[in-house]
Structure formats: structure tokens, C-alpha cells
Amino acid sequence: MAACGGGGSQSVTVGTPQLVPTAAPTSAPQATGTLSITFTIPLPGGAGTGASSRAPAYISPNTRSVSFYDGKSLVYVANINLTAKPPTVTTVYSSGNEVRDLSCQMESDGYQAVCTEVLDATCSSHTFDMIAYPNAQTKSRSGVVSGGGIILSEGELGPYTVKKGDNGSHEIILLGVAAIAHFAPITTPYSYSDGTNTYTNVGVVGVGTYTVSAAIDDASGATIVLPGDYDNGPVTFSETDGSKILSFAPASYTTPPASPAPVSFSVQCVNPGVATISALAKTKPDTSYASKLTYTSANYASSPIGSQTFRCVADAASLPVTGQ
């Protein structure tokens, strides 16, 4: 992705990607090789937005821009319009060192777009990164690239030794960033009235277990699926009010489901009261990527990523609990 002939490079500073020009080295040209990075994006609303996506990467159908790095150097940024037929690509920034513009072609099924980035690199060891964003990016007159929003997914290829000539096509496994937990209503067979208010979906202390479900989504609201693990996993569920109202079955997820679906776990009421169940995730990736990004709330999800309340009451013999 960086030039193979010893051309200029760009580096990235903190927060939302920013590039700062550096002086071109004066060393003699080096041997170069060419390789392609290919990825498949499910189109918005298409049947290919789940497990049918064939490429080994999680890429949200709501992706609007992508960035590529060679080590710590930002080498290419493009905005993608997936609603156009075929999808259109607008180059925002290119290092100019034989980096080819990204191209996307719609597949015959009409549900997915296959995109290819062709680049030249010096014949040496490289680490290539790719990051997908939900918003378009822009470049100022001073050359600063900004925008994009919270990272949807990111991944890395390498270390990879580039050889002279054609190095073929490669796919980066992108890992989805868990940013939102959408909880489903906790269905129980009980309702409870305290004389003023009636509460439905109430758990009873010591009476069975109750199922809690939540869809783990990226920042655009698309549910994250395999093949990669969560970029900031594991996603864990726990009671965060400190009241010890609930006991949890194992509620930790490193790997997302194979198709868009919620994850589930069980809780049991051990004390009366109102419990806050929160979904927690890391505020930076598990992997230390080569790209020189400092992960802040400007470009990465905060935690908790969602919460749900659940009311527990004492046993049915002593309180007015009725079946629904």
C-alpha cells in the first residue's frame, strides 16, 4: 500500500485519522511487488447482509468509507456510495506511490459488491490494515483527513513479505467493533402491582431462571456476525448497580453469531429490587494494530454499550404476583 520505490510516506496522529506529510527519503529505488486486497460488502437491505456474505470479513452494509494503512502510514482513503448501482467510489486521499484507486463491482445476485484495492509495496515485510467507517471522510487544504465516525470494523494482514512481481489477491479478516447492545424485553410469566403501578415481565426471587437476549451491533446498528471475533471483545453482561439482585449464568461472548441474531444468557432473582443489566465491551481493540491510531470516543465505542432494567420481587406467597 506504500510505494515500493522509496517514495514519500504519511503518518497518522491521534483520534480521527489525520495525516501529516513527511519528507521523502533519498535512498535508491527498491524492488517492488504488487498485491490486491479484496473484500465483499453486503448492500443495504440485500439478502446478502448476513451469513451469505462469502468474503472472510465482517463489513457492515452501512459502510460509507474505508482507510488503508501500510504499517503506521496512511496510504489510501475512499468514500463508498453503496446505494448507487453499481456502487461508486470517491478517492479522498492517496499517497500517490503507485496506490491504485479502489474499485467496486456489483455481484450478479445484486446483493453484494466486491471491492478491490491494488497497491505496490517494497519487497520486504509489511503489515497492512483496513478500517471501515459509517460516515464519509474529508481532506482539508492542509492535507488533514478527518471524519468517519466510530469504527465499524477493522483488521490486519501481516506480517506479509512482499515479493517482486504479482503477489496475488488477499483478504483481511475484519473484526466488528461492538458499539450498541439492543436488549429484547425480558419475558416472564409474572406481573406485579405495588398498589400504584403495575409492572410486567417481573422476576420472582428463587423462582426459576429468566432469559435475557441482546443484539450486539456496530455503531451503524448492523448486527455483527462471523467469521471474526469481536474487535473489542469479549462482550460481557453483568449487573452494574452493585445491589446484587441477580445471579448470572456465564454471560461472556468473544465470538459473534454466524447470522444476524441476538445472544442470550440466563439470570435468576436472588434479592428483591430493580437491577440494571449492562453490556460491557473494551474501549480499544484487543489487537494492537500497526496503524498509528489513538482510540478515543471520537473513533471508538464507549462502554457500557447498552443496558436493561429488570425488577425482582419476593416470593409469590407473600406479594401480589399474578400470572400473565
112-121: pLDDT as tens digits: 888 999 888 8
Domain that holds residue 260: 180-293+301-323
What secondary structure, in 3-state letters, does 23-48 show? CCCCCCCCCEEEEEEEEEEECCCCHH
Eight-state DSSP code of residue 294: -
pLDDT over 70 (residue 4): no
Answer yes or no: is 214 within a domain. yes
Domain final residue, candidates 158, 176, 194? 176
Q: Are residues 184 and 144 in the same domain?
A: no
Burial environment of residue 68 by CB neighbours within 10 A (0 to 12, 13 to 18, 19 or more): buried
Answer yes or no: is 276 within a domain. yes
Sign of the dihedral through C-alpha 201, 203, 208, 212 = positive
Q: Are residues 216 and 145 in the same domain?
A: no
Reduced to 3 states (helix: H, G, I; strand: E, B; else coil), residue 216 is strand
Answer yes or no: is 1 within a domain. no
pLDDT over 50 (residue 74): yes
Answer yes or no: is 231 within a domain. yes
Q: Are residues 25 and 171 in the same domain?
A: yes
pLDDT over 90 (residue 52): no
Q: Are residues 137 and 121 in the same domain?
A: yes
Tell me how far apart the alpha carbons of residues 283 and 234 are, in angstroms, rounded to a whole number: 11
Query: At 197, phi and psi to the nearest 5?
Result: -125, 150
Q: Are residues 230 and 197 in the same domain?
A: yes
Tell me how far apart the alpha carbons of residues 250 and 263 are, in angstroms, rounded to a whole number: 12
Q: Are residues 142 and 211 in the same domain?
A: no
Work out the pLDDT band at 319, boundaries 50, 70, 90. Answer: low
Residue in 155, 139, 157 with CA at minimum distance from that of residue 20: 139
Q: Are residues 233 and 318 in the same domain?
A: yes
pLDDT over 60 (residue 320): no
Work out the pLDDT band at 51, boundaries 50, 70, 90. Answer: very low
What does each C-alpha distance from 22 to 10, 82, 127 come to in angstroms?
Answer: 6, 34, 20
Q: Are residues 102 and 119 in the same domain?
A: yes
Domain final residue, candidates 146, 176, 206? 176
Q: Are residues 24 and 137 in the same domain?
A: yes
Higher pLDDT, 115 or 24: 115
- pLDDT tens digits for 281-294? 999 999 889 998 88
| Count of structural domains within the chain | 2
Q: Please tell me the least confidently modeled range out of 81-90, 97-106, 120-129, 184-193.
A: 97-106
For 219, the grid coordinates are: 455503531
Work out the pLDDT band at 28, boundaries 50, 70, 90. Answer: low
Answer yes or no: is 3 within a domain. no
Q: Are residues 172 and 195 in the same domain?
A: no
For 177, the grid coordinates are: 467493533
pLDDT at 158: 87
Neighbours of 109 (CB within 10 A): 11
How much of the chain, in percent, has pLDDT values that exceed 90? 55
For 156, the grid coordinates are: 490486519
Strand 165-170 relative to strand 32-42: parallel, antiparallel, unpaired? parallel
- Amino acid identity of residue 90, one-letter, is T
Q: Are residues 67 and 139 in the same domain?
A: yes
pLDDT at 24: 52
Q: Are residues 66 and 200 in the same domain?
A: no
319: CATH:
2.60.40.10
User: Edge-to-edge strands of the sheet including 180-183?
Assistant: 180-183, 210-217, 263-269, 246-248
